């Protein structure tokens, strides 16, 4: 059974006082999906 779902929290607050925003994250690359298929090993919710 799928667990009871809660309404999502508000989207994160954006700091509009900052003139420039940027984020870059990194990890080991292991993507192998293509337009005919995606491996589902991540949870949607």
Partner 1 sequence: MLTTVHTPVGQPATAGRFCNTGYGPSLMPLDIGHPDWMAILGPETAFWSLVRRERLADALADPELLLESYRERRPEFQAEMDQLRFGLQPSAVYFNATDRCNLDCTYCYIPGDLRRHGAHMSGDQLLQALARLKEYFATSMGETTRKPRIIFHGAEPLLNRAAIFPGIDAFHDDFQFGIQTNSTLLDAEAIDFLTTRAVSIGLSLDGPEAAVTDRTRTAWNGDSVHAAVLRSLERLADYPALSVITTVTTANLDRLLPLVDLLHEMKVPACLLNPVRCTLPGARTVKPDDRALATALIAALERTHVLYRASGRKLIVANYANILLAILAPTARRLMCDISPCGGGRAFFAVAASGDLFPCSEFIGLEAFRGGNLFQDGIANALQSAPFKLVTGRDVERFAPCNTCAIRHYCGSPCPAEAHEMNGAMERTGAFCALYEELVRHAFRVIADGREGDFLWEGWDAGTTTLFAL
* Region 1-45 residues binding partner 1, contact defined as CB under 8 A: 1-2, 5-8, 11-14, 16, 18-45
Instruction: Provide the b/e sequence for 6-41 (b: ≥16 CB within 10 Å).
Output: eeeeeeeeeeeeeeeeeeeeeeeeeeeeeeeeeeee
DSSP state of 37: B
Q: How many residues bind partner 1 (CB under 8 A)?
A: 39
Q: How far is the CB of 17 from partner 1 (least distance, A)?
A: 9
Positions that interact with partner 1 (CB under 8 A): 1-2, 5-8, 11-14, 16, 18-45
């Amino acid at each position: 059974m799928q667990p009871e779902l809660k309404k999502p929290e508000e989207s994160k607050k954006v700091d509009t006082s900052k003139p420039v925003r940027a984020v870059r994250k990194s990890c080991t690359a292991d993507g192998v999906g293509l337009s005919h298929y995606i491996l589902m090993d991540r949870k949607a919710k």
